[in-house]
Chains A and B, each alone.
Chain A
Amino acid sequence: MNKILVKSGLIALAVAVSACTDPGRFGNGAGGDGTVGADAYDPNNPASNPNSPAYFSQRVGDRVLFAVDQSTLSPEAQQTLTAQAQWLNTNSSYSAIVEGHADEQGTREYNLALGARRANAVQEYLISQGVAGSRLRTVSYGKERPIEVCSTEACYSQNRRSVTVLSAGAGS
């Protein structure tokens, strides 16, 4: 139940900020979104609280992107994941599910396996940065949940992603 509440909160926030082209459940925008104001805590803006899930998804950045048919982490991805790990290490009451996704250019089964590779690469990196493995799970959606729907590289590049989805609880 807690988990569901947290997710609902994320979605509501993403709609309010309306900076994302798709405020869906599968990733709520990258970090560094300029529409969020000062760092001071504002009770009306959960993202201003550095310990909030909203801060994690918007300021830290809950997703990283991958090259075609690859699961290696780019320097940018590593930077985001280092910040994710720091946040998770600070906020130990949260665990996370790392979702792996692929673009639509591939067969269904292969893309499931490819998404799993991506999710696992992220999980391993987070563990290497000190996050307990028991707080992390992975799942692949293959090409089932694109975030952008056009059929060009502009969209594909956004869909080849992992998304770190927080849930309340310190994991198993």
Chain B
Amino acid sequence: MKKLTHLLAGLALALGITPAIAQDGPLRIEITEGVIEPLPFAIPVFIAENAAAQEYAAQLSQVVAADLAGTGLFRQISPDSFISTVSNFDAPVQYADWKAINAQALITGAVSVAEGGRVNVKFRLFDVFSEAPLGDGLQLGGTTTSWRRIAHKVADQVYSRITGEGGYFDSRVVFVHEEGPKNARQKRLAVMDYDGANVQYLTNSASIVLAPRFSPTGDRVIYTSYETGFPKIYVMDVGTVQRRILEDQPGTMTFAPRFAPDGQTVVFSLERGGNTDIYRYSPGGTTQALTNAPSIETAPSYSPDGTQIVFESDRSGTQQLYKMPANGGEPTRISFGEGRYGTPVWSPRGDLIAFTKQHQGRFHIGVMRTDGSEERLLTASFLDEGPTWSPNGRVIMFTRSGSGAGGESALYSVDISGRNLKRVPTPGAASDPAWSPLLP
């Protein structure tokens, strides 16, 4: 159990700034300035317990492996190097064989498909160097069409047990699918699994749509559409794809909506007479102004406890970040670095605020503490903008756009440590991602 503690501590730290894990011998932690050495794991192909399970067993274990390796915190050991084969889910683990190939974690699983199309997956996680299981075995079930979700849930369990953090693989991303050149771009709302699978379109390309956001339960999306010729806020039920305009929207344009943690209240920007302020819509109640200034106030985002709102304003002369009580009141400026700051988003953990920064012709995604201290820039490019948090507050997804006539937009993700920057697969150009909460 002592080594297990090391394993947990090692990974917990690995999610932070600069520690590294030595991969030889028993686990130990080494703080270095270098790159984290990802934790090696072995995942033998899950055992198919009946014939109908054959096609799912291999795919399930592949998705679990891809989820874990995709974090940059884990490294999959090639099955070619395996000494042991696992043909019986309940057989004792040959720890020596896994130690010999330096697997620090071992994931075993078994899949069965019952009549009527229900998939059942059992899995176990082992800390090889402690020669002990890490947590209990677990069984997950679902329809055959939801097999990817089952795989993501297994991976979330593994991630969670080893890092001590919540998982994020069983989640979705709503985004804007883009087609056409910059000066005639068509946009459609779409939703997909966090890893780019199962893309589904939610709107056609008849109207410009912008910046969709999930409700706190992930069943609805709120977004801006030019359906009427003017930007207005709509709410869509993701399951039925039924949409309705948000009632009670005075002013010329309304945009940049986000749900409050209660899932009913909406905070957004309203423009009237050229001036943009932040308003709050309460269902059954009224729409009321939370700011009242001649400057631009936009891009509001609630703290996870719903007591505060962070937003951007150019009241100082340039775009900067401010926070204020959720009922309005005197804003406090929190960004003080060089350049312009926009699109602040409060982390679901409550500890950080992600933002877009513009400085000397470059764009960055960054994070800061909620009082504005400890600013860290995670990316740099011609145009990075619009961060959204993974459900566990460890990964940020955003839009990266290229320059010039051929410059397309794409979705990227990056750790809050600034590591593991990668493109998120989408069927074409894409922008404005918003991450769902972890699915139930």
Is the beta-carbon distance between B269 and A144 smaller than 8 angstroms? no
Whether A149 contacts B253 in the complex (CB less than 8 A), given A109-B298, A110-B342, A140-B231, comes out as no
Rounded to whole Å, the gap between the CB of A71 and the closest CB of chain B is 7
Instruction: Verify if B210 is at the interface (C-beta below 8 Å from A).
Output: yes
Spot the interface stretch: B34-42, B98-106, B109-117, B380-388. Answer: B380-388
Find A112's partner among B253, B404, B405 (CB 8 Å cutoff).
Answer: B253
Instruction: Verify if B43 is at the interface (C-beta below 8 Å from A).
Output: no
Cα–Cα distance between A116 and B185 once the two chains are bound (Å):
20
Find B299's partner among A22, A109, A123, A146 (CB 8 Å cutoff).
Answer: A109
Is the beta-carbon distance between B183 and A24 smaller than 8 angstroms? yes
Cα–Cα distance between A108 and B432 once the two chains are bound (Å):
9
In A84-133, the 8 Å CB interface with B consists of 97, 104-110, 112-114, 116-117, 119-121, 123-124
Q: Which of chain A's residues have a CB closer than 8 A to the CB of B279?
A: none
Q: What 1/0 mask marks residues of chain A from 59 to 101 whose CB sits below 8 Å from any chain B CB? A: 0000000000001000000000000000000000000010000
Q: Which of chain B's residues have a CB closer than 8 A to the CB of A140?
A: 231, 253, 271
Rounded to whole Å, the gap between the CB of B250 and the closest CB of chain A is 14
Rounded to whole Å, the gap between the CB of A70 and the closest CB of chain B is 12
Cα–Cα distance between A97 and B245 once the two chains are bound (Å):
22
In B175-199, the 8 Å CB interface with A consists of 181-185
Find A149's partner among B211, B274, B404 (CB 8 Å cutoff).
Answer: B404
Rounded to whole Å, the gap between the CB of A137 and the closest CB of chain B is 8
Q: Which of chain B's residues have a CB closer than 8 A to the CB of A141?
A: 208
Number of interface residues of B (CB under 8 A): 42
Rounded to whole Å, the gap between the CB of A117 and the closest CB of chain B is 5
Find A104's partner among B181, B319, B361, B383 (CB 8 Å cutoff).
Answer: B383
Instruction: Verify if B159 is at the interface (C-beta below 8 Å from A).
Output: no
Whether A151 contacts B276 in the complex (CB less than 8 A), given A22-B183, A139-B253, A144-B185, comes out as no
Rounded to whole Å, the gap between the CB of B176 and the closest CB of chain A is 10
Instruction: Verify if B413 is at the interface (C-beta below 8 Å from A).
Output: no
Q: Which of chain B's residues have a CB closer than 8 A to the CB of A151?
A: 382, 403-404, 407
Instruction: Verify if A138 is at the interface (C-beta below 8 Å from B).
Output: yes
Give A71's nearest chain B residue, CB to CB. B274
Number of interface residues of A (CB under 8 A): 35
Q: What 1/0 mask marks residues of chain B from 222 to 257 whose CB sits below 8 Å from any chain A CB? A: 000000011100000000000000000000110110
Instruction: Verify if A150 is at the interface (C-beta below 8 Å from B).
Output: yes
Q: Which of chain B's residues have a CB closer than 8 A to the CB of A112?
A: 210, 231, 253, 255-256, 269, 271, 276, 298
Among B184, B274, B275, the one with the most A-chain Cβ atoms within 10 Å of its Cβ is B274
Instruction: Verify if B392 is at the interface (C-beta below 8 Å from A).
Output: no
Is the beta-carbon distance between A109 and B253 smaller than 8 angstroms? no
Is the beta-carbon distance between B183 and A116 smaller than 8 angstroms? no
In B77-94, the 8 Å CB interface with A consists of none
Is the beta-carbon distance between A110 and B298 smaller than 8 angstroms? yes
Q: Which of chain B's residues have a CB closer than 8 A to the CB of A107?
A: 299, 312, 319, 342-343, 356, 358, 385-386
Q: What 1/0 mask marks residues of chain A from 137 to 157 whose CB sits below 8 Å from any chain B CB? A: 111110011111111000000
Q: Which of chain A's residues have a CB closer than 8 A to the CB of B342?
A: 106-107, 109-110
Find B181's partner among A117, A123, A138, A149 (CB 8 Å cutoff).
Answer: A149
Is the beta-carbon distance between B274 and A120 smaller than 8 angstroms? yes
Instruction: Verify if B273 is at the interface (C-beta below 8 Å from A).
Output: yes
Give B406's nearest chain A residue, CB to CB. A149
Find A108's partner among B182, B184, B210, B253 (CB 8 Å cutoff).
Answer: B210
Give B356's nearest chain A residue, CB to CB. A107
Q: Which of chain A's residues have a CB closer than 8 A to the CB of B385?
A: 107-108
Whether A110 contacts B299 in the complex (CB less than 8 A), given A120-B273, A138-B252, A139-B230, comes out as yes
Instruction: Verify if B205 is at the interface (C-beta below 8 Å from A).
Output: no
Q: Which of chain A's residues have a CB closer than 8 A to the CB of B383?
A: 104-105
Give A143's nearest chain B residue, CB to CB. B182
Instruction: Verify if B401 is at the interface (C-beta below 8 Å from A).
Output: yes
Is the beta-carbon distance between A149 and B296 smaller than 8 angstroms? no
Cα–Cα distance between A64 and B98 once the two chains are bound (Å):
70
Find B276's partner among A24, A116, A123, A139 (CB 8 Å cutoff).
Answer: A116
Cα–Cα distance between A150 and B382 once the two chains are bound (Å):
13
Cα–Cα distance between A165 and B220 once the two chains are bound (Å):
35
Is the beta-carbon distance between B231 and A109 smaller than 8 angstroms? no
Rounded to whole Å, the gap between the CB of A128 and the closest CB of chain B is 14
Is the beta-carbon distance between A117 and B274 smaller than 8 angstroms? yes
The 4 closest A-B pairs by CB, nearest first: A120-B274, A151-B403, A113-B276, A107-B342
Known: A26-B183, A108-B386, A112-B298. 20 other contacts (CB 8 A): A97-B229, A105-B358, A107-B342, A107-B343, A109-B211, A109-B342, A110-B298, A112-B253, A116-B276, A120-B274, A121-B274, A138-B252, A138-B274, A139-B231, A139-B252, A140-B271, A144-B185, A145-B185, A147-B183, A150-B404
CB<8 Å pairs between A and B, sample of 23: A97-B229, A106-B342, A107-B312, A108-B343, A108-B385, A109-B255, A109-B298, A109-B312, A110-B298, A110-B299, A110-B314, A112-B255, A112-B256, A112-B271, A121-B274, A137-B252, A138-B252, A138-B274, A139-B229, A139-B231, A149-B183, A149-B405, A151-B404
